[in-house]
Structure 1
Amino acid sequence: MKRIKNSIPVMNVQWVNKLKIYLYSAFVMLFLFAGSDTIYAGTTGKIAGVVTDQATGEPMPGANVYVEGYHYGAASDIDGYYFIINVPPGMYTVVTQLIGYREVRTENVLVKVDLTTKMNIALQAENIELGEEIVVIAERPLIDIDVTSTAVSISADEIKALPVDNIYQVIEHQAGVVGGHFRGGRLGEVAYMVDGIPVNDPYNNSNTVNVENESIQELEVISGTFNAEYGQAMSGIVNIITKEGRPDHIESTFSGYLGKFYTNNDDLFPNLGASEGGFSENVQMTIGGPVPFVDRLTFFLTGRLLNDDGHLYGQRIYNTTDNDPFEPSGDQSYESMNYGKYKSLHGKLTYYLSSPFKLSYNFMAGFNENNYYDHGYQRTPAGIQDHYKQNYIHSLIFNHTISANTFYTLKFSLNETQYEGYVYEDPNDPRYVIPELGLPQSGYTFRSGGNQTGRYERNAQIWLGKLDIISQVSKNHKLGLGMDYKQHVMDVWGTGLRSRTGDIEQIHDIIYPDPGTPGFEDYMRKPVELSAYVQDKMEFEDMIINLGFRFDYFDPSTPMLADIRNPVNNDLFYFDNIDAPVKTQISPRFGISFPISSQGVIHVSYGHFFQTPNFEQLYGNIYDRADGTTIFLIDKTGLNTVTGNPDLDAMRTVQYEAGLQQVIYNNLVLDFTAYYRDLRNLIDTEIIETYDQNKYARYINRDYGNVRGIILSADKRLADYWGARLDFTYQFAEGNASDPRSVFFDNQSDPPNESEKKLTRLDWDQRVTLNLSLTAGTPGDWSVGLIGRYGTGTPYTAEIRFTGVNVDFRNNRAKPVNINFDLKAEKTFEIAGTRLSAFLYIFNLLDQKNENSVYGSSGRANADLNTKFAGDIIGLNTLDEYVNNPSFYSAPRQIRLGLGFGF
């Protein structure tokens, strides 16, 4: 039996040797490209403006404008115009010098990714003592006039002020985002980028790496249309720019906290009131600055350790070897069923070889261990799986500023992730028991023993080479070109134990399916992706246009069935495979903004966005024989198999958006956006009947839907000790199915259910959402942050009471509303140059019991009307104990107290 040891590192000797070749090739390419005219987009911004004489208003050519402490600068032209490109996001001081005029230092100049910071400079003639300078504090503009779609940039300081523990909590608080769904799209339709490197896992398109808040310089969340530089996403982009060490001094922070769940609902969440239940411990640190004795080399390092007991507990009434529900042998102790252990490390080296050259090396590592609550095992918690994840990302980024107009960026990365899941590490562990053990003997009854039977191992590697070129070809045109190459290596193995004889008395007599039979998945695939784009940003006084085109190429690099009715384990006919075809796509993107005044701007955007289906949907349930033949695993005992389909087309979304931003009072901005999304070629399943009358399901492009909505927000910038943001989203998200496997599940029913043929509400369709964020305080002294969220109920499918039969159509009723508030308070002291802080977090401040899942018979989480026909309970639990499923609710109140210091 194939198995990847949990103890060995992901990067084995073979890959280390490849990495050496990869890095050597990277450095060779650096020299080959050192003299070429080439850009990079997605991680830097631009500063631009006009230098004038303060007395006459005349433009001043030849002024030297540069970013203090860095190698970014430019000279003004004959019209006094200047621009500085390739500036990482952050807060800077910009210095302007011209012979015969006083030097001007403009502080607090904020640069955002992909945006232009307008900064006009007025110089005074030098008629006083030589060398005296003028200091100007830059006013951050209330609106960004060159934004052509909905995008939010959140700075490191803004993240620090909020009661959030990770980027997902920040993202969830953005308008149009509900439970990870961006503007009504399915999960897995968002691309995550770290310093311009994509970090999604292609198996399910989830994010592979957790970037700590302390590592983030800027977080950009794009929920509207996005430029052609971004691909493999239909709903949104999360663009993370990490911090670099400062070149002039070392900075360091250290913090830790202790947390615990405190709730008034002890009957629903057992063991949280105990002295040993529901705790969390966290320590983290950062340090960054210049590397001693090495000029122009800086470093930044972040580390974190987190142990979280979770809030969902089971009680060990039964041991896994028990079977009789009335003869438990457990010790009655409580055991966490949603714990998490997490370690992360992020290191970044930045080397300014000389003024036009910059080289960065980024390393990120994460180690996760956790389990997932299973209500059926609440009385046998030792029987559920533990899950393990290791992730390593290496990236090398070379940035060359060829001239004041042009720069290019070369990126190389290796992203490697290993997943494993099992109850016991050894597949032949003698503690494993047969699947039939401890099964409930009546409805509404917990298991009385047994363990989960599945185990899986998955190793994913992504080799990336990427070239981006940007050039300010004229005052009005910033042209971007780019291309990238991805080589995937996906190694998947999965199976589940079975009883050898079916004898319930032989509890340890287990076997695993034979290789190449249903229930034993084993394959390695090496698909290839290529992409290229061109993007032009046209900036005029009364109009800004973003126009781009993107080309994508995908080679699944796998065989597929020549005849889908004749899979390999058909006994009647010889099977045959053919090569899966290559897929290509061209995507146009367009956005335009019209500044109607210095206080208002209108934008309109349109684009086609596509995404290759998840690799699980392309390759699932296949097996590679030793002779190189690929077979498709079909279970002949019934409709139990969903196979991948390598011939799936890309999923497509066409999006339209229009919006208005308007300053209505000092530091107060109103923003209105309307959008429409047309969803096509989404993944569904179809039922295939083989020539020998067996049935299986396979993925196809068939689902569709549309989303339409409006967003209204009011943003009061932090001033006079307080700031706030309130946004209101009204949205309709409809489609023919929410789950790609809906047809498969419908046909598993007896008799089969009829699948939907019309648009209904999607599972995550929240019609009204209100987000509130409120911050108050004095920088460097004290701060209070509060975020709140109100959402109307997402839909559920009602049942005809006491029958279990669905009413009419899916998602025809709404769950109760959802309300939540989180709070953070911090006090900072400075003693002998060291900053000390004490902080408090309270998540779910009001201890709200939000009902995330409900019973179809009642529409509530605590009542199942079908219990009227439950009959006798064969077990030790009551009906209410089983019906009250704690995983149906949001997490209860959690309080964290912590200390930190920094210098």
Structure 2
Amino acid sequence: MISIIKLFFGLTRSINMSKKNILLVIFISCNMVFAGETGKMVGKVTDATTGDPLIGVNVVIKGTALGAATDENGDFIILNIPAKTFIVSASYIGYKTTTMTDVRVNADRTTTVNFSLEVSAVEGEEVIVEAERHVIVRDQTATTTTIEEEDFENMPINSYADILDNVVGVIENDNGGGDDGIHIRGGRSGETAYLVDGFYVKNIMSGGMATDVARGGISELSIITGAFNAEYGQAMSGIINIITQEGGAEYDVNFRASTDKLYNSWDSGRLEGTVSGPVIPTIPQFATFFISADRHHTNGRHKYLELPWAVLKVDENGDGVYNAGESWTDDVNDTYDYGEAFLDDNGNDMWDHAVYDTSGNLVTAAESWTDVANGIYDIGEEYEDTNGDGIRNGDVYALADIDGDGIAEPLKKGAREVTATYNWTDRVMGKLVLRPIDNLKITFGTNIQNNESRGFSMNYRQLPERNAVYWQESNLMYGKLNYTFSENMFATVKVSKYRVENWSGPKIEGEKFLNDDHELYSKQFEIPSDWDNSILDAGTEFDWLSYYAEPYNDVDQDGAFTSGTDEYEDLNGDGKYSWGVFTNLREGDAYDNTSNYEFYGSYPIVNNAGDTIRFGHSTYHNYSNDRFNTTQLEGTFTWQVNKAHQVKTGILTKQHDLFNFYGSYIGGGYYGTSSDPSFILWEKKPEEQSFFFQDKMELKDLVVNLGLRYDKLDPKSFFADPTLNLGYRYDGETYETSDLTAIPFSAFEDGLVEWGYINDDGTFSPPDNASVKKFWSPRIGIGYPVTENTAFHFNYGQFIKYPDYNYMYDYSNSNGIAIGGVIDGYSGNGETFANLMGNSMYPFPFNLGDWYIPPVGSPNIKPEKSVQYEFGLRTLLTPEYFFTLTMFYNDRYDYISANIYDADPTEYAVYENMDYGNSKGFEIGLSKLFTNNFSWEIFYSFSKAEGNTANETSHWYEAYYSSVYGTHPVHRTITMAWDQPHTLNLKFDYRHPRGYGVNVLGNIGSGLPYTPTDARGRNIDDENSGRMPYTAMFDAKAFYDLQIKNMANVRIYMDVTNLFDRKNVVNVFNSTGKPDESLNPNNSPMWIYRPYYYSAPRHIELGISVGLR
């Protein structure tokens, strides 16, 4: 757990304005109340001499319009306080005014502030004290980690994501186990909810957080790893809640900049700025603003790669193929050898063994092959083991024409490989707060993030600039109206618009290669004679598809648009012909004779006579574009009924507009002028509603948080049923899928053909709509303070999460791909129309024909569910040392997985609720509180994450491997790919009064699992039964603060990641369990060298920040 409090025990500082030193003891404690963005303050004011309560004392939070008067018992309550640090004063006639500084209010918590006022002999006397915070949170009912704005300044972190690895209970994996990402207490990566200012900002289509907040705009970050209360929904493992800053009564300007140019530069740089204050200086409480923006650019750790071996050499014998380092016998051995020709019966691009049932009876015969001496080494043939290592060593020779001059260059050890990776991120956060009348607060806010990046690819190492580029744009805009009816009651109405859009594909001349319409046009032309070959016949009609190319009349019949000759339709009105896929988009794989297609580049395109027609270029040829718009409306009502009960209730509705496009193999073809693309294209508009009620009961020795939540989802879509016989209906007649040719083209063009299912009696039934999903979730948390220095807590809850919407609608092609319309004059039959639409089963709204057993989304799947238990103990061992123990148990049900059906007319899979997971463990922590200028924390956690499958596609791959290798899935729980049994989280914080300090964060964890396999990839042990080496990562920040004439605060700092430059292994080859060795003899050294199998090396950024006040 990261420390959420700065603790000063045995010390109370006081400043008497009449220069009298008075010791005033003030107690402040925090506890968890409700989800949201604000906190509550309660307390008692008494006479310092008699201890009697004072009635009518005015308690005010300075810089705000918030305050309260004490009742007949001296108690006060202030609700609806923003999460930040305040100054609070208590004033009463005849008593000295007491002002308390550094009072921190956290979201979802109650801060207790008790005042003892002394009689004043002179009017206007004031006592100023610094608040202290008790370690034992009296009414804590769940494990929560809170990071405040000051922590962000002192820790080596630049975003919310940087801190997660150092939160106890949080694991991040990148080991290729099928569910990489952030995991909280053993759950899958998609089980966490992300909120900004109370609004959900998760990527509802594919999971993860879809936006980020500028570092300077964060007031507070809360991570709930225990059972959370009823206001939170759509999460099964944890909550990450970000509260942004608000402007104050005074102007505040901050700048921050850093660079890594001085050491191991990745061309990284950061620029940040914040400005805040009153809109009208003379009326500071009427309106305030806060604006924060930052930009981060880097080429990443893969910018330059120093090659570890002399792996690339010229082809010495000039035969153009790999030559083995060890000799072998090229024999006919009556067994299938890897590399020999075979008949691929099921189209899975590999030779399949015979399949037998458990009784040894033949189920499926092995595919036939040609047993020949084929001139290359085939797995299974005898070889000379020169070095005695038990394996045949792969070839060390490869061809690489790096500069494109037609001559292969040698590349020696230590040479640098340029990868063209980069990442640009811009983040902007803004907030405007209006208080036009008493008791009314209106807030307008926005949070924007734009990102563009290109990652590292093994396939495009030699032409990295042709690898895919990824773009993301997200924008949250919201408004909130908060009205306080009385000191004990307030209501909030919130409305938001959240938009996220993602693209991926090649970047052409600095621009994205997709437009918003995703139009596909068709043009028929005659094959030229010099293109005649075994695939294309000269003189025949050829259907040319070009992705977003405006239709034209091919006057010169050359099969391509010719400027000045061919007539075209200017659809986008730009006055020029708009090209689709350039003819140099990936027409094939360069260096086909090299291992694993590792070398891409320029290569000749030849005709059957061997003449070079032109040169082709390898380019990423898959495109995607998805977006969603979510409109959210929410209302909550909070009532402090009495001292023992605070009731909160709320209702929420969300309307989604989802769009997804994916196209593969666009712009391919034998000569690069044709295309045989495969498409996914759909648009859906599901709706969600929820309601919650919760009551916090604060009794004398017990605190109970009791809540109930209701969730409802309407997918608003039909679903595919593989158990029924697919068919069509047109003009009152029923047609099988094989009868598309009997339906006229015009019937499809006019939308007169229905899809559905043919019953056993031959009648037709339309598809069913997915059912509306409804679920109730009870939750309870109990806090029990035994003494002032020891407390227990317990919680129980049921939680649900809707699967990501891609799992509900994936592989849909309900819109077709000819959005721009079919070109006039195109004719044919139903089959022709279906092919034109990119879906051979159109109007069946799922594209099955272009994919191998596609896992089709199902909007009929139920929400996934978890049941959690947690027990915790917290005790103050001494005034300086704090101990915690937490135990947890979590069952997860109705996990979704792709289940394969032998459906008619083709085999496909459907996502269904069928899996289970479980996690359990304990967490132990010991902290030295901040005294003598330093503090430290050490947390150890033991956990076990198990389940019957690793991810949503596990059952699909079990069936696939069964057909390939003859293996059978195990029917028992397995270890999850993110299971890390032993984890240590450490923190050290040193701050000297003279302004310099050091902060270190550390994480040490046992190795993550992998599945041992043989050289062909067949499992030789249980799934995830192997373990990688342990990992250790330490990050540090060193800083020095100085003030310039009370005008500016300046900080010079250094951020260091991977302080000890440890080469942590994050992934391995399954055949060896090592990151740099594979048993597959066809893998060359260059293919084995994978820098992303290791963590990033040491990286240093130097920076400066300036604050003007």
**TM-score over 0.5 for the pair:** yes
Tell me how far 1:234 sits from its aligned partner: 0.6
What does the per-residue CA deviation read over 1:874-896, in whole Å, with 9 as the maximum and x for residues that have no partner? xxxxx333212101111111111
Contact 1:495–1:512 (8 Å) recurs in 2: no
2:401 is aligned with what amino acid? P
Look up the match of 1:76.
70
Q: Does 1:758 align with 2:972?
A: yes
1:333-363: CA deviation from partner (whole Å, max 9, x where unpaired): 8543542011111111111223311111111
Alignment correspondent of 1:354: 437
Equivalent in the alignment of 1:580: 770
Select which of 369, 372, 384 maps to 2:467.
384
Find out whether 1:787 has 2:994 as its counterpart.
no
**1:511-553 residue CA offsets vs partner (Å, 9 max, x unmatched):** 153xxxxx21111111100000001111122111100000001
Structure 2 spans left out of the alignment, 5+ residues: 1-32, 173-181, 314-319, 322-397, 410-415, 514-546, 548-579, 602-617, 729-735, 740-754, 757-765, 820-841
Q: Secondary structure at the match of 1:579?
A: coil
Task: Give the one of 454, 471, 491 matched to 1:408.
Answer: 491
Match of 2:737 in 1: 571
Cα deviation, residue 67, structure 1: 0.9
Query: In 2, are the aligned partners of 1:261 and 1:278 still within 8 Å (CA)?
Result: no
1:674 aligns with 2:887: yes
Q: Which of 717, 741, 752 is matched with 2:929 structurally?
A: 717
Q: Tell whether 2:523 aligns with 1:310.
A: no
Q: Rate the CA distance shift 1:339–1:756 in 2: closer, same or farther, 3 A.
A: farther
Cα distance change of structure 1 residues 637 and 756 upon mapping to structure 2, 3 Å threshold: farther
Q: CA deviation at 1:836?
A: 1.9
Q: Which one of 754, 779, 799 corresponds to residue 589 of structure 1?
A: 779
Letter in 2 for 1:455: Y
SS in 1 for 2:719: strand
Displacement, 1:691?
2.4
TM-score (norm 2): 0.72
Cα offset, 1:805, TM superposition:
2.5
Partner of 1:328: 401
Matches of 2:106 and 2:998 in 1, distance apart? 25
Deviation of the 1:688 alpha carbon: 1.2
SS in 1 for 2:189: coil
For 1:619-658, what aligned pairs fall within 5 Å after superposition? 619-625=809-815, 631-636=844-849, 639-658=852-871
Does the Cα contact within 8 Å between 1:116 and 1:146 map onto a contact in 2? no
Q: Amino acid of the residue matched to residue 448 of structure 2?
A: A
Matched with 1:845 is: 1059
> Does residue 477 in structure 1 map to residue 645 in structure 2?
yes
Aligned residue number for residue 207 of structure 1:
209
Question: For 1:526 and 1:221, how far apart are their aligned partners in 2?
Answer: 31
Q: Which residue does 2:1099 correspond to in 1?
A: 894
Partner of residue 241, structure 2: 239
For the Cα contact (< 8 Å) 1:289–1:300, is it kept in 2?
yes
Return 5+ residue gaps in structure 1 as ranges. Answer: 1-38, 263-271, 514-518, 874-878
Task: Within 5 Å, give how 1:258-273 maps onto structure 2.
Answer: 258-259=259-260
Of residues 855-864 and 816-825 in structure 1, the stretch that sits farther from structure 2 once superposed is 855-864
Pairing 1:679-758 to 2, within 5 Å after superposition: 679-692=892-905, 694-749=906-961, 750-751=964-965, 753-758=967-972
Deviation at 1:562, TM superposition (A): 5.0
Structure 1 partner of 2:43: 49
Q: What is the match of residue 398 of structure 1? A: 481
Per the alignment, residue 267 of structure 1 pairs with none
3-state DSSP class of the match of 2:895?
A: strand
Match of 1:372 in 2: 455
Single out whichever of 237-246 and 880-889 deviates more from structure 2. 880-889
Query: 3-state DSSP class of the match of 2:300?
Result: coil
Q: What per-residue deviation string (whole Å, max 9, x for no partner) do you get for residues 64-108 of structure 1?
A: 212122111112222222111111122212111222322221222
Range moving further from structure 2, 646-655 or 749-758: 749-758
Instruction: Work out the CA distance in 2 between the residues paired with 1:780 and 1:756.
Output: 63
- Between the aligned partners of 2:634 and 2:942, the Cα distance in structure 1 is 39
Which letter does structure 1 place at the counterpart of 2:974?
T
Following the alignment from structure 1 to structure 2, what is the Cα–Cα distance between the partners of residues 260 and 641? 47
Which among 471, 483, 489 is matched to residue 657 of structure 2?
Answer: 489
* Aligned mates of 1:658, 1:761 — CA distance in 2: 24
**What's the counterpart of residue 266 of structure 1?**
none
Aligned to 1:465: 633
Aligned to 2:152: 159
Say if 1:435 and 1:499, in contact at 8 Å, map to a contact too.
Answer: yes
Moved more, 747-756 or 40-49: 747-756
| 8 Å CA contact 1:61, 1:80 repeated in 2 | yes
**Structure 1 residue 510, shift from structure 2 partner:** 3.6
Counterpart-to-counterpart distance in 2, 1:294 and 1:100: 32
- Pair 1:568–1:512, CA change in 2 (3 A): farther
Alignment of 1:85-164 (within 5 A): 85-126=79-120, 128-164=121-157
Matched, 1:813 2:1026: yes
State how far apart, in whole Å, the 1-side matches of 2:811 and 2:627 are: 16
Please name the residue that 2:714 is paired with.
Answer: 555
Superposed CA RMSD in Å reads: 2.5
For 2:1057 and 2:668, locate their aligned partners in 1 and report how far apart those are by CA, in whole Å. Answer: 48
Q: Residues 41 and 469 of structure 1 are in contact (CA less than 8 Å); yes or no, is this contact kept in structure 2?
A: no
- Counterparts of 1:814 and 1:599 in 2: how far apart (Å)? 41
Shift of 1:259: 1.4
Instruction: Count matched residues.
Output: 826
Deviation per CA, 1:306-328: give whole Å up to 9, x if none: 1100112478999xxxx997462
1:171 CA drift (Å): 2.0
Q: Residues 542 and 857 of structure 1: is their aligned pair in 2 closer, same or farther, counting only changes over 3 Å?
A: same
Identity %: 28
User: What is the alpha-carbon distance in structure 1 between the residues aligned to residue 1059 and residue 82 of structure 2?
Assistant: 37
1:145–1:595 Cα contact (<8 Å) kept: yes
Select the structure that is richer in strand. Answer: 1
2:303–2:422 contact (8 Å) kept in structure 1: no
C-alpha distance in structure 1 between counterparts of 2:638 and 2:689, whole Å: 20
Measured in 1, the distance between the counterparts of 2:1040 and 2:703 equals 43
Find the aligned partners of 2:400 and 2:1043 in 1 and give their Cα distance. 62
Contact 1:639 1:748 in 2 (8 A): no
Alignment CA distance shift 1:568-1:731 (3 Å): farther
Q: Which moves more between the two structures, 65-74 or 758-767?
A: 65-74
Structure 2 letter corresponding to 1:212: A
SS at match of 1:881: helix
Q: Decide whether the 8 Å contact of 2:1009 with 2:1028 is kept in 1.
A: yes
Aligned counterpart, 1:775: 989
Q: Which moved more, 1:249-258 or 1:740-749?
A: 740-749
Q: Whose Rg is larger?
A: 2
Deviation string 1:168-197 (CA, Å, 9 cap, x unpaired) is 111221001001100011112111111111
Residues 79/292 of structure 1: CA separation in 2 closer, same or farther (3 Å cut): closer
Deviation at 1:571, TM superposition (A): 2.0
Aligned-pair distance for 1:834?
A: 1.3
Superposed CA deviations along residues 454-482 of structure 1, whole A, max 9, x for unmatched, are 10111210101111111111101111101
C-alpha contact 2:812 2:847 (8 A) present in aligned 1: no
Counterpart Cα distance in 1 of 2:877 and 2:436: 47
Deviations 1:139-164 (A, max 9, x none): 11112222101101111111211111
Counterparts in 2 of 1:634 and 1:461: CA distance versus 1, 3 Å:
closer
Q: 1:778 to 1:408 in 2, by over 3 A?
A: farther
CA contact (8 A) 2:399 2:594 kept: no
Shift of 1:484: 0.7
Query: CA 1:829–1:219 in structure 2 vs 1: closer, same or farther (change >3 Å)?
Result: same
Q: Deviations over 1:579-618 (max 9, x none)?
A: 1110011000100010111112100000001000100000
Amino acid at match of 1:107: T
Matched residue type, 1:95: S
- 1:369-427 Cα deviation digits (max 9, x unpaired): 01222223222313310001111110101111110001111111101111111114335
User: Residue 328 of structure 1 contacts residue 448 of structure 1 at CA under 8 Å; is this kept in 2?
Assistant: no
* One-letter amino acid matched to 2:247: G
Aligned partners of 1:441 and 1:216: how far apart in 2?
53
Name the CA distance, whole Å, in 2 between partners of 1:43 and 1:486. Answer: 19
